[in-house]
Amino acid sequence: MTEFKQVPIEKLEPDSARGYRKDNPKITPTFVESIKTGLLQSLLVRPLEEGKYGIIHGVRRFMAVKRYTEMESLPCVVLHDIEDKEVLPLWFRLNEGERDLPKETVEEVIRRSFHKFRKPNVRRGKSKRG
């Protein structure tokens, strides 16, 4: 199920399943000015525990609004039926054309997600086939 709703800023946070580093958003003065005139695109979020919402797409917009405006809520598209393992592929698909997406961010997301979702009993090395 998907729904559109205004979500209070205090209920939003970067989704941990996508591996976002909270201390490293790339927010330029030009980006801040565009945010102050109003958001053009809704955030893509999913429900978390305790009434919170994890931001899958739109973390920079969220951080800019939180730091530089007095907005109290943001327009969000809420995806209710998305699992942790589906978040990262969706995030990559949505950011596929982003030219300003730092290489380090992509590498960090891949590294963190690999460690989070890998199966601990998978053995590396020779195949059992012979």
pLDDT at site 3:
94
Amino acid at 33: E
Closest CA to 5 of 55, 48, 45: 45
DSSP 79: E
pLDDT at site 105:
63
User: What gap in Å lies between CA 85 and CA 108, rounded to an integer?
Assistant: 16
The dihedral sign for the CA sequence 101, 58, 52, 63: positive
pLDDT at site 78:
95
Q: Which domains does the chain have, with CATH numbers?
A: 2-117 (3.90.1530.10)
Q: Which whole-number Å values give the CA distances from 67 to 36, 52, 61, 96, 129, in the listed order?
A: 11, 19, 10, 26, 56
Residue 116: which H helix or E strand, with range?
Answer: helix 103-117
pLDDT at site 28:
79
Per-residue pLDDT of the chain (130 residues; tens, 9 = 90+): 889 999 999 999 988 776 655 555 677 788 778 777 766 689 999 999 999 999 988 888 898 888 888 889 999 999 998 887 787 777 767 766 665 556 666 676 666 666 665 666 555 555 555 5
The answer, as to whether pTM is greater than 0.75, is no
